[in-house]
Amino acid sequence: MVKVVAIVGSPRVDGNTEFLTKTALDKIDEEDEFEVELITLADKEINYCVGCGVCIKTGKCAFTDDMVEITQKVADADGLIFASPVYFGDMTGLAKSCIDRLRPLRRIHNFKYKVCGAITTGGFRNGGQESTIASIHDFFNIQGGIVVGDNMPTGHYGGTGHGETQSDEVGIITSINLATRMVDVIRKLHNLD
Ligand SMILES: Cc1cc2nc3c(=O)[nH]c(=O)nc-3n(C[C@H](O)[C@H](O)[C@H](O)COP(=O)(O)O)c2cc1C
């Protein structure tokens, strides 16, 4: 089995970002060889990185909060979806804290063969979904992951939602197409065809 983990960086449980992320994961879950897991950061205790450098020396973060388990789950995943609402044109502080705390995985190039995709949602159609996805893609690239967008025919940056995402056709189709693109690449990498 291959595994895709999705992290939702909204402080709101069951919100717009979680809906699109679940939509993408449900699509991936249709594949026999795939298992999926959604992790919401909303109910987690996550300290922000203080740059102490302990992870550089020991490979582990000095903090022992919920990031211990999340880091292990990300490390074990073959695919990673990272999702965030747009807050002032970028990801939430919660999402960024999680990203910074995943630094120990960079030291061992854990993302080398991890297929990575992003989902964002904003209150407005052009509210910063693309700039937020670009920030998430920076994280994937700096971790050395394999970054993918949404599959053709939509074929852009990933899942991009706006407003109430349960009725947002573009958000839903781009999130589903992100899922199918991730499946394509993971299948190729793991010789599943
Ligand atoms: C502090 C704050 C800043 C926000 N900034 C933006 C923004 O820059 N652009 C935008 O389109 N929506 C913005 N929004 C709206 C949220 O992105 C939007 O409501 C989103 O769907 C929330 O997702 P969630 O339900 O998963 O939490 C902001 C919301 C908050 C609370």
Q: 16 with 165: CB under 8 angstroms?
A: yes
Domain layout of the chain by residue ranges: 2-189
The verdict on domain 2-189 having CATH code 3.40.50.720 is: no
Query: For residues 135 and 132, what is the distance between their CA atoms, to the nearest angstrom?
Result: 5
71 lines ligand 1 (CB under 6 A): no
pTM of the model: 0.98
Of the pLDDT bands very low, low, confident and very high (cuts 50, 70, 90), residue 95 is very high
Q: 117 with 182: CB under 8 angstroms?
A: yes
User: Nearest C-alpha to atom 22 of ligand 1 is from which residue?
Assistant: 85
12 lines ligand 1 (CB under 6 A): yes
Q: Which helix (H) or strand (E) holds 6?
A: strand 2-8
Which ligand 1 atom is at minimum distance from the Cα of 88? 8
Q: Could you report how far apart the first and last alpha carbons of the chain are, in Å?
A: 13
At 35-58, the pLDDT tens digits run 999 999 999 999 999 999 999 999
Instruction: Give the other-Cβ count within 10 Å of 11's Cβ.
Output: 16
Of the pLDDT bands very low, low, confident and very high (cuts 50, 70, 90), residue 98 is very high
Query: For residues 149 and 120, what is the distance between their CA atoms, to the nearest angstrom?
Result: 12
Instruction: Give the other-Cβ count within 10 Å of 31's Cβ.
Output: 18
User: Nearest C-alpha to atom 5 of ligand 1 is from which residue?
Assistant: 87
At 109-138, the pLDDT tens digits run 999 999 999 999 999 999 999 999 999 999
84 lines ligand 1 (CB under 6 A): no
At 166-179, the pLDDT tens digits run 999 999 999 999 99
85 Cα to the center of ligand 1, angstroms: 6
126 Cα to the center of ligand 1, angstroms: 12
Q: Which helix (H) or strand (E) holds 86?
A: none
Question: Which residue from 153, 177, 132, 133 is spatially nearest to 24, judged by alpha carbons?
Answer: 177
Average confidence (pLDDT) over 178-190:
98
Phi-psi region of 53 (alpha: psi -120 to 50; beta: other; left: phi over 0): left
Query: For residues 131 and 189, what is the distance between their CA atoms, to the nearest angstrom?
Result: 29
79 lines ligand 1 (CB under 6 A): no
Best of 7, 82, 84, 86 for a ligand 1 pocket test (most atoms within 8 Å of beta carbon):
86
**Chain mean position to CA 132:** 12
The predicted structure's pLDDT at residue 193: 80
120 lines ligand 1 (CB under 6 A): no
Which ligand 1 atom is at minimum distance from the Cα of 163? 21
